[in-house]
Structure 1
Amino acid sequence: MIEIDPQHLAHRYMAQWTVPGAAERRAAIEQLWSEDATHILQPPAEIREIAAELGFGHTTLEAQGYDAIETRVARSYERFVETGGFTFRARADAVRLHGVVKFSWETVSTETGDAVGGGLEILLLDDDGRIKADYMFPGA
């Protein structure tokens, strides 16, 4: 596996969620992710509660491949950055253990600069240092 600075990767990863242009966003995704990568999200508590009320014992949201990941990143950008007044940033706690990178991130109000949320990210890397699986835990 190639050498990867985990903090640099964390910053690049968080930056993709704030890219306004579709072409630049797609380029960032193709640089960061392997072609068949999977983004796996633990939904927010309110979604898990609704699912439990409907009889689902667990919920997992997944996007696989460039197109699905691009849709996921674009929708997040539209909701939180473009119209929501937020941005995202990695905390300075990224660590790497073999092919795994773990770091925390923050949702930041663009009006005040205050962190108003965040989560935990666990990235599994391929031999080229690109993301092959991304486990996102908002609120963690």
Structure 2
Amino acid sequence: MSEALQLAHRYLAVWNETDASRRRALIAEVFTPDASYTDPLGTATGHDAIDGFIAGAQEQFAGLVFSLPAEPDAHHDLARFQWNLCTPAAPDPLAIGFDVIELADGRITKVHGFLDKVPA
């Protein structure tokens, strides 16, 4: 698996990590210090802001899990992938999104997120 594909999997692991200290450690491993995250619901730049954004989403969608319905597509320093947000017991996604990540030196520098399906 390419570096970009591995990072896509690790990126979703960050979103699924509910222990704050482990999530923060994963963020430091996966994102560059000045990384940015942008989706229709907000933006975040740097580890603190990204951690806060993810913690807020986890609070709003407690008990839900992000997964990849298919392998990411990657080339050069880019990867794109669709993700599902589901309950562990039900495979039908409550939310579906699409992210594009930019990479540098083995870490994510930018995330461009899109929401295809959101809960009412």
Q: What TM-score comes out, normalization by structure 1 length?
A: 0.76
- CA offset digits 1:88-114 (Å, max 9, x no partner): 112223011111111110011234232
Match of residue 30 from structure 1: 28
Name the residue aligned to 2:114.
137
State percent identity of aligned pairs.
31
Cα offset for 1:71?
0.2
Q: In structure 2, what is the equivalent of residue 74 of structure 1?
A: 55
**Following superposition, which runs of at least 4 residues in structure 1 exceed 4 angstroms of deviation?**
none
- Which runs of structure 2 are paired with 1:38-49 in the superposition (5 Å)? 38-43=36-41
Q: How does 1:2-41 map to 2 (within 5 A)?
A: 4-6=3-5, 8-41=6-39
Distance in 2 (alpha carbons) for counterparts of 1:137 and 1:100: 16
Q: CA deviation at 1:21?
A: 0.9
Paired AA for residue 4 in structure 1 = E
Q: SS of the counterpart of 2:102?
A: strand
Note the aligned Cα RMSD (angstroms).
1.6
Count of paired positions = 116
Q: TM-score, normalised by structure 2?
A: 0.87
Q: Which has the higher strand share?
A: 2
Q: Out of 84, 92, 97, which is 1:119 matched to?
A: 97
**Aligned-partner residue type, residue 44 of structure 2:** A
CA distance, structure 1, for counterparts of residue 43 and residue 54 of structure 2? 12
